[in-house]
Amino acid sequence: PQLRPVAIGVTGQLYTSGAGLARGYLNRPDLTAKHFIDNPFSNDGSKLYATGDLARFRPNGEIEFLGRQDNQVKLRGFRIEMGEIEHALGQHSAIGAHLVIVHKDANNNKALVAYLVAQAEPAPTHNELATYLQQWLPSYMIPRHFVWLEAFPLTPNGKVDRRALPTPDLTRADLVGEFVAPRTRLEQQLVDIWCAVLTLDTIGVHDDFFALGGHSLLATQVASRIRTELVVDLPLRQLFERPTVAELATFLQSEGDNLLYAAPPLLPATRDDHLPLSFTQERLWFLAQLQPDSAAYNIPMTIDVRGSLDPTLLAQALQWLVQRHESLRTTFVAHNGIPQQIVADEVEIFLQLLPCTEDEIEATVIAEAQHHFDLATGPLLRTTLLQITDQRQILLLNMHHIISDGWSVNIAAQELSHAYLALAQGELPALPPLPLQFADYAIWQRAWLQGEVLDKQLTYWQNQLDQTTGILNLPTDFPRPTLQTFNGSFYYTSLPNQLFTQLNAFSQAHNATAFMTLLAAFNMLLWRYSGQTDIVVGTPIANRHQRETEALIGMFVNTLPLRTQLVETQTFSDLLAQLREATLDAYAHQDVPLAILVDTLP
């Protein structure tokens, strides 16, 4: 500890002193030396006692207790409050007593481990718990291991005996079958890639990627790492067809020479005065010129903060985030009729503080979400803090879609949290520098996606969407208007845990993802209400299959038109198999932006 008093509102370690302070721990000179230290604020030989508590001063002089210092950890550069993870676990209906700790292995590698006692059967699996927690927590706060116990070991005074907790199995989660270690250099390279993406320590060459918790987004990350490290352009289909390291290694050994990655490397580009837009950005820019007052392409996000929050530190964290990502400092202007990106060296983000009552929250959030952005003047990020009580605030972040997407929202939330917690501890935010910025990607995309490369992918989509109108005639309660509007609503529901488990089991049995199964069911629903057997559903895809793009805020997302042709006599399994093939083929041709498809197709 630096033993420097912190400002009002800043979290610090709580020390006590005075005439009533004990001399030390009885017969524990080690603890006495650690916790009873010389008082640097007095010359009378007195001591300070390090309580281990975290606290902060309120403006009225009160001291607010924030928890124990030993319950907050720093892992992979992120400050993590264990209580947040434990609170999320406690919301699960099958979990009773629970505790989260940081486990350190023999190589000094740290990982979050959750110890759980079931209060309902069957107990959820590792994959189910990880998926459940993703609703509440960022990825870096998801425990790597879940250990089920009959009961917690206790000390004589009734507290959990942490030393008696069993060591977690640091190999494979929830898998059965014989473990086979990698036998060749290629298998070892693939195992290393899978371990990094799935955050596991050990994977056998016969372990199934999807049984380990993999899904299409993680499969994309595996493919991007294979592209970077092995210089092989692995189609996502192959990971679905060959979901084990052994099968994939065999395929790469026989076909790898035919899959050499031909695209130019994605590197920081030479900048000039005219930075192009990506294809998707250009489409959004033209739509904004047609409807400048529309809020249809806003991406609003709310973060409900319980507990004290320092607006000054939050504003500093927001400014740090804006400086880190060029997209948040970008505006868009036309030069000779052609839109260009303008990246400012610095942009000052104003955090609006808005007192708000509970009754005013919904209306205020809706009003802020409808803000009209000016793409030419910016900024295209708007921040508002609703101050409801001393212990509750809601942060509203609103970005225009031209600089952001759903993946970017998660990056912004995680990095903003990291920056705020670091600043609250009197430290500077410390994350690895970004390898490039979004403008570099736009330049790269323009240079690569043309000529033969573009024609090859366009040919696939022209064949795939031949002779389809793409119009769905649903029996809606109002006729389709002549001019498109965005009036509508949302309906949210949650699947029961048992049904979700069954859904995943059914999907894995058919070598499909839960997304594919749900999309097949959705298509059946549309057929039931429309009577149409030829249906096209647009679905977003992250489109970040270059590893360098994974940490960037920017508009990468693309929309894939997935066509389904239903036959009344087919079974649901037949429909799922058809949709699985269509989805995997679309993944292999995801580089063509929807904007180009719309302009090209008849």
Q: Assess contact for 113 and 73: CB atoms under 8 A.
A: no
Q: From residue 22, how far is each of 3, 35, 36, 48, 384 by CA, in Å? A: 20, 11, 9, 10, 47
| Short-list 4, 510, 487, 543, CA closest to 266 | 543
Residue 159 three-state SS: coil
Task: Give the residue extent of every domain in the chain.
Answer: 12-67, 76-164, 185-259, 279-435, 449-600
Task: Classify domain 12-67 by CATH architecture.
Answer: Roll (2.30)
Counts of helices then strands in the chain (DSSP H, E): 17, 17
pLDDT at 534: 93
CA distance 232 to 257: 8
Q: Hey, how many other C-beta atoms are within 10 angstroms of the C-beta on 43?
A: 7
Instruction: Tell the burial category of 467 from Cβ atoms under 10 Å away from its Cβ (0-12, 13-18, 19+).
Output: exposed
Q: What are the pLDDT digits (tens) for 169-226?
A: 655 555 545 678 888 989 999 999 998 888 777 788 888 888 777 777 788 889 888 8
Q: From residue 431, how far is each of 39, 349, 372, 409 by CA, in Å? A: 35, 21, 32, 17
CA distance 377 to 330: 9
Q: Say if 12-67 and 279-435 have the same CATH topology.
A: no
pLDDT at 175: 53
DSSP code per residue over 367-399: HHHTPPP-TTT---EEEEEEEEETTEEEEEEEE
Identify the CATH number of the domain defined by range 185-259: 1.10.1200.10
Greatest extent of the chain over all pairs of C-alpha atoms, in Å: 91
The CATH superfamily assigned to 76-164 is ANL, C-terminal domain (3.30.300.30)
| Short-list 131, 101, 104, CA closest to 113 | 101
Judge if pTM exceeds 0.85: no
Instruction: For residue 396, list its beta bridge partners.
Output: 302, 384
Q: Which fold has domain 279-435?
A: Chloramphenicol Acetyltransferase (3.30.559)
Distance between start and end Cα atoms, the chain: 68
Q: Assess contact for 181 and 148: CB atoms under 8 A.
A: no
Q: Hey, how many other C-beta atoms are within 10 angstroms of the C-beta on 332?
A: 24
Parts of the chain with a pLDDT under 70: 1-2, 66-72, 74-79, 105-109, 138-140, 169-178, 256-257, 260-262, 497
Kindly report the CATH class assigned to 449-600.
alpha beta
Residue 27 three-state SS: coil
Q: What is the SS3 string spanning 544-567?
A: CCCHHHCCCCCCCCEEEEEEEECC
Instruction: For residue 148, list its beta bridge partners.
Output: 116
pLDDT at 67: 62
pLDDT at 562: 94
CA distance 291 to 295: 9
pLDDT at 224: 86
Residue 225 three-state SS: helix
Q: Assess contact for 86 and 71: CB atoms under 8 A.
A: no
pLDDT at 76: 54
